[in-house]
Chain A
Amino acid sequence: MNKIVSKEYFSANVIKFEVEAPLIAKARKAGHFVMVKVGVKGERIPLTIADADLQKGTITLVVQKMGVSSSKLCALEAGDYITDMVGPLGKATHIENFGTVVCACGGVGTAPMLPIVAALKKAGNRVITVIAARNKDLIILEEQMRLHSDEVIVMTDDGSYGTKGLVTNGVESVINREKVDLCVTIGPAIMMKFVSLLTKKYEVPTLASLNTIMVDGTGMCGACRVSVGGKTKFVCVDGPEFDAHLVDFDEMLMRLGGYRDIEREEMANFSNH
């Protein structure tokens, strides 16, 4: 049982939680995730750790309301308890001074990018962060990103804030004006696919942090498997970060949709859960 210390709405459907988890706060590094389960009959879902406070013994999670499980989590308030939480899991991001790094994130992917941006900056990199969302209301963590980035480029689909366009337009504008040594991308799978296609064209090495379906999160089930360079890898223990240019994003998108029909049905019967 982990107590929720604070809850903050980034938007109607995107919520930031600070959760008591002193051991995880102490052990976690940028790139790690936790498995979270709400209720006795809850589902175990992976969430990347967005931040941690060693003094308070808390970690930060940013959750987007989507299906039954994320909606249940988002319904919890400060003072409530998360039934089960375990971590930190996965391999931490490999941090070193690469030179110039572009961090391309979209939607709730912005939250787990924050500790990576901070760590890269601390390691001496020039960090340019591209945050993208459909509209102004969905842009999150801009201020915090500015604290750790040399430059922040905001992109919105509808042009309601920052520059009108997709995350790829932002990344391409940077590549066109200066030498980029590494790109890191976190966001919806379809977004990462297009970032990867773009950086491949420009031969910019790219890491993608994948968020797939998992049951246990410790290597036991294999639900999270992805093809990387033609080999099957487990996101939970071999990842979550991989060389984006080797990831078979089409297969990943197909596997992510595997339970869509069942999920839709369960959302329609949400009151039963």
Chain B
Amino acid sequence: MNHSEERALAWRDELRKSMKAKERTDIPRVHMPELNAEYRSHSRLEEVNLGLTAEMAMLEAKRCLDCANPTCMQGCPVGIDIPRFVKNIERGEFLEAAKALKETSALPAVCGRVCPQEKQCEGQCVHLKMKKEAVAVGHLERFAADYERESGNISVPVTAEANNIKIAAVGSGPAGLAFAGDMAKLGYEVVVFEALHEIGGVLKYGIPEFRLPNDIVDVEIQNLQSMGVHFVTNCVVGKTISIQDLEDDGFKGIFVASGAGLPRFMNIKGENLVGVMSSNEYLTRVNLMDAASEDSDTPVFKGKKVAIIGGGNTAMDSVRTARRLGAERAMIVYRRSEEEMPARLEEVKHAKEEGIDFMTLHNPIEYLGNDQGRVTHMLLQVMELGEPDASGRRSPVEIPGKTELIEVDEVVVSVGVSPNPLIPQSVEGLEVTKWGTVVVNNDTMQSAVPIIFAGGDIVRGGATVILAMGDGRKAAKSMDEWIKSN
């Protein structure tokens, strides 16, 4: 059933009429319960957001007007039937709500935690037009997914009869997982190849436990496994096996979602000093390798004065991790002002509550070290805002001669990533941009090599979990059509 058919169901109609719109919009938006800021800034593994109670969720769900033309859905990159799951929460059918989510999203418990909702579903909510706060769609999504998981009644989405056609996903991050879920539903035999020893890509190596616990990612992966998706870890497509090997092995379509592999550096003096590293390295050590635990063999620096360069979600994850590993001073150094920061609002808010220093309108120009080559200081250029640049944001301009020297013992560079070059290097005929991203047809996600589709950061260069998932869904739909028309 599509959205309007669902909306026309008797229970929905009844529920809509049970309360006046004015009464619904008058309910204040729910506040997500969270751990005390001082406590959590020393607790590495506990999740900050505690989740809504059933009462809170049902009340929040009442705020949704169940619009005939739900603009929130247009804001969702994977096209979740948002009113349907929200209204199921309102009537107390939490498992039905979870089911509705899983029809379109392979990872609802993940999206409910890490999506930038304020720029997507909630950013399009009709409440905003009435100068009210948006319905907390993200919190409700998380509630439904968590309720289902904790209930032990995890539903496995219905899959079509097996068609015995083998298809592959390269990379087990959000794009690969979303693709795998949709293809499994369509009856394909799906194999996901992962280069690392763990499944989940950036959800495991990048996003910290306090924001997205690994256990939650694992449950979503198990859900895919119970739908018949196979996972192969420790296998680098392009190195261990080639695309040609996959074709020879009978794979009829290959979705490349190998992510944004290479961390960018700024190429400034002292950047290779000991103690200066990429956010990928820092977060991988702490998240994937669990380096901060006593029993882990992987080491990690636990700096006391730590600077994170950048203003995105990865920078926020890094700085909050540094704080949790014992940094007395943990700083965000960002060249624009707070308004231009690309990080989610919630991450910035949480970081501030946890005592993070925000040094906006500052840009590092050099790192200095001691005789052992360890970083001891950073030299910052003070900036001001100029005219808007190509991104539409006001560009940072140096204030001549104005610099600051600040003591640091660890620097984490989080200024973006470049696409992983392994696949582009190893496949002949693949069209690649000068930035190294794979060129695809935007409607179909198909590349210049017909059997290869691609999505996520390998195409976008560096985006969000949900946009990657949207690509995965789009690629699944069009690969299915392409295979069937062949």
**Structural contact, B299 and A272, CB atoms closer than 8 A:** no
Please give me the residue from chain B that is nearest to A227 by CB atom: B272
Interchain residue pairs with CB less than 8 A apart (9): A37-B197, A44-B197, A83-B197, A216-B196, A216-B284, A218-B195, A220-B205, A221-B281, A223-B281
What number of A-B contacts does a CB cutoff of 8 Å give?
126
CA distance A239 to B250 in the complex (A): 33
Contact A222 B281 (CB under 8 A): yes
Considering only residues 72-119 of chain A, those with a C-beta below 8 Å from chain B are 72, 83-89
- Whether the Cβ atoms of B263 and A221 lie closer than 8 Å is yes
- Bound complex: CA A26 to CA B277 (Å): 34
CA distance A167 to B277 in the complex (A): 34
Measured between alpha carbons, how far is A39 from B271 in the docked complex, in Å?
A: 33
Of residues 242 through 261 on chain A, the ones whose CB sits less than 8 Å from some CB of chain B are 251, 254-255, 257-259
Select the stretch in B86-94, B149-157, B288-296 that faces chain A: B288-296
Report the bound CA distance from A132 to B297 in whole Å: 31
B258 (CB) vs chain A CBs: closest residue: A218
List the 8 closest A-B pairs by CB distance, nearest first: A254-B373, A221-B281, A258-B274, A43-B297, A84-B197, A86-B234, A262-B299, A222-B278
B279 → chain A, closest Cβ, in Å? 10
Residues of A within 8 A of B277 (CB): 221-223
Chain A residues, Cβ within 8 Å of B290? 41
Closest to B233 in A: A84
Q: Give the CA-CA distance A272 to B234 in the complex, in Å.
A: 26
Q: Contact mask B257-274 → A, CB, 8 Å, 1/0?
A: 000011101010001111
Shortest CB-to-CB span from B205 to chain A, Å, is 8
Known A215-B298, A221-B280, A273-B297: A86·B263 in contact at CB below 8 Å: no
Known interface pairs A222-B277, A272-B294; 14 further A-B residue pairs with C-beta atoms within 8 A, sorted by A's residue number = A37-B197, A44-B289, A86-B196, A86-B234, A216-B195, A218-B420, A218-B422, A220-B280, A220-B284, A221-B280, A222-B262, A222-B281, A232-B267, A251-B373
Task: Specify the main secondary structure of chain A where it touches its partner.
Answer: mixed
User: Is B56 in the interface zone, CB < 8 Å from A?
Assistant: no
Given A86-B234, A227-B272, A232-B265, check contact A27 B295 (CB 8 Å). Answer: no
A273 CB to closest chain B CB (Å) equals: 6
Would A266 and B272 count as touching, CB distance under 8 A?
A: no
B interface residue numbers (CB < 8 A to A): 195-197, 205, 233-236, 239-242, 261-263, 265, 267, 271-275, 277-278, 280-281, 284-285, 289-290, 293-299, 301, 372-374, 420-422
With most chain B CB atoms within 10 A of its CB, the pick from A41, A215, A251 is: A215
**Inter-chain contacts of A225 with B (CB < 8 A):** 265, 272
* A84→B285 contact, CB < 8 A: no
A264 vs B369: C-alpha distance when bound (angstroms):
22
A220-B261, A222-B280 known; A215+B272 contact, CB < 8 A: no
Using CB atoms, name the residue of chain A closest to B425: A237
Q: For A44, list chain B residues within 8 Å (CB).
A: 197, 289, 298
Enumerate chain B residues within 8 angstroms of A254, measured Cβ to Cβ: 273-274, 372-373
* A85 to B235 Cα, complex, angstroms: 9
In the complex, what's the smallest C-beta–C-beta distance from B310 to chain A, in angstroms? 14
